[in-house]
Structure 1
Amino acid sequence: MLRNGLLLAVFAFFCTALVALVNQQTFDKIKEQQQLELKRVLHQIIPATMHDNELVQHCILIHNEKVLGVDTPLPSYIASMKGIPVAIAIETVAPDGYSGNIKLIIGISADGEVLGVRTLSHAETPGLGDKIELRKSDWVLSFNGMSLLSESDPRWNVKKDGGEIDQFTGATITPRAYIKAVKRALVYVNANKDKLLTRPANCEVNYQ
């Protein structure tokens, strides 16, 4: 029994060491792929023609649970042209999705226009709520060019609630949560535009 126990312990040690070695060897590669994916998404929601800086290098952190939907800092990225800030890409979370948190990123111009929206992660129902993914549906493109007339702008609702944005057949909770998250971010950026766009690129936490 003692011999078997020692063999099992040795086997467990080597398995743990092997997993640690694989993780160490793949960490940099995974991080590199994540950066490439982030760059791809950022250039989708803030066109390259609008800025001449590298977006991922001008990162700031925002800590505001009411706006972001989570009590942890999330990154935003400032776009500028010839040193003049022109837009921001802000990550946020819709905490009230049908199956939990929906993480998204929104590109907003300095004039308060939505340039683009993309879903970063979610657990919504396949075939229904997953239409928030661009590869499944062009629904997220509905936000392109939208802005806020006021915080109570009635257009920022699904059509079922009197708004201008389509809901999904058989799934209304997901688009409602998504719209609210985009609207919250837009209200916040509009109210804090000058402070946000001029913050230094050091990812310091903003406790506003």
Structure 2
Amino acid sequence: MKKAMLKNGLILALFALICTALVAVVNHLTADQIKQQETQELGRILQQIIPTNLHDNVIAQHCIRITAPAALGTINSMPAYIASKNGIATAIAMETIAPDGYNGNIRIIVGIDAQGRVLGVRTLAQQETPGLGDKIEIRKSDWVNSFQGMILNAATASHWKVKKDGGDIDQFTGATITPRAYVKAVKNTLNYFNQHKTDLLNQPAHCEAI
């Protein structure tokens, strides 16, 4: 009986070892392909939120990293991508986190021109409720386009809330937590940019595209 149990245990251990090795091999073989797909997707999103007339560089190749927990919603450093034309910085795309989404973190990227105007916003990752909170996805709704053209200053600060809270931005029917968290994250990111604009736009690239 003990011999049979030992034999079965060894077989299971060997099977687990083989499966682990196969997974490692597959991951290794597909790593470059996954990296390429991620780079292509990043490039596609950057094209959507930063107009082509504002740059002549490959934006994803001018990547910097920013550590600003209070503004960007995470203790981790976040990537940002600088657009330039004729060697002069014209815009930046900053990744940020809304940590208080209905179902957890929402990863966002915000395109901002050198004057502090929002060029575009996209959702990079989210776990919000399908049919309600997931309207932050551009393929689900054009809600994220409501940020385009907005600026943040003393005169417009009160606009940066959902309408339920007295601001100008629509909330979703049956889902206020998600858009409220999203608006707050975009506002915090824009505020950080306004405070550190010169330093951000003049940083040399010092991180990989992904």
Same fold (TM over 0.5): yes
**Which residue in the other structure is 1:5 paired with?**
9
The residue number in structure 1 matching 2:69 is: 65
Deviations along 1:30-65, one digit per CA (max 9) or x if unpaired, are 111111111111111111221001111100000010
- Taking the aligned partners of 2:30 and 2:203, their CA distance within structure 1 comes to 34
Q: What secondary structure, in the 3-state scheme, does the structure 1 residue paired with 2:157 have?
A: coil
How far is 1:151 from its partner?
8.0
Distance 2:52 2:151 in 1: 21
Indicate the residue corresponding to 1:91 in structure 2.
95
In 2, the alpha carbon distance for the partners of 1:165 and 1:7 equals: 60
Alignment of 1:47-196 (within 5 A): 47-150=51-154, 153-196=157-200
Identity, % of aligned pairs? 62
For residues 61-120 of structure 1, what are the alpha-carbon distances to aligned partners after superposition, in whole Å with 9 as ceiling and x for unaligned? 000100110100000000000000000000000111111111100000001100000001
Structure 1: stretches of 5+ with no match in the other structure: none
Structure 2, unpaired ranges of 5+: none
Which SS does the other structure have where 2:37 is aligned? helix
Secondary structure of the residue aligned to 2:159 is: coil
Distance in 1 of aligned mates of 2:134 and 2:35 = 26
Give the match for residue 27 of structure 1: 31
Q: Partner of 1:154: helix, strand, or coil?
A: helix
Match among 46, 49, 62 for residue 45 of structure 1: 49
Aligned to 1:36: 40
Cα distance in 2 between the residues matched to 1:125 and 1:151: 34
Q: How many equivalent residue pairs?
A: 204
TM-score (normalizing by structure 1): 0.94
Deviation of the 1:150 alpha carbon: 2.0
Instruction: Name which of structure 1's ranges 77-86 and 13-22 shifts more when overlaid on structure 2.
Output: 13-22
Q: Would you identify which runs of 4 or more consecutive aligned residues in structure 1 move more than 3 Å? A: none
- 2:187 maps to amino acid: K
Secondary structure (helix, strand or coil) at the match of 1:150 reads coil
1:50 maps to amino acid: L
- Look up the equivalent residue of 1:42 and give its one-letter code: L
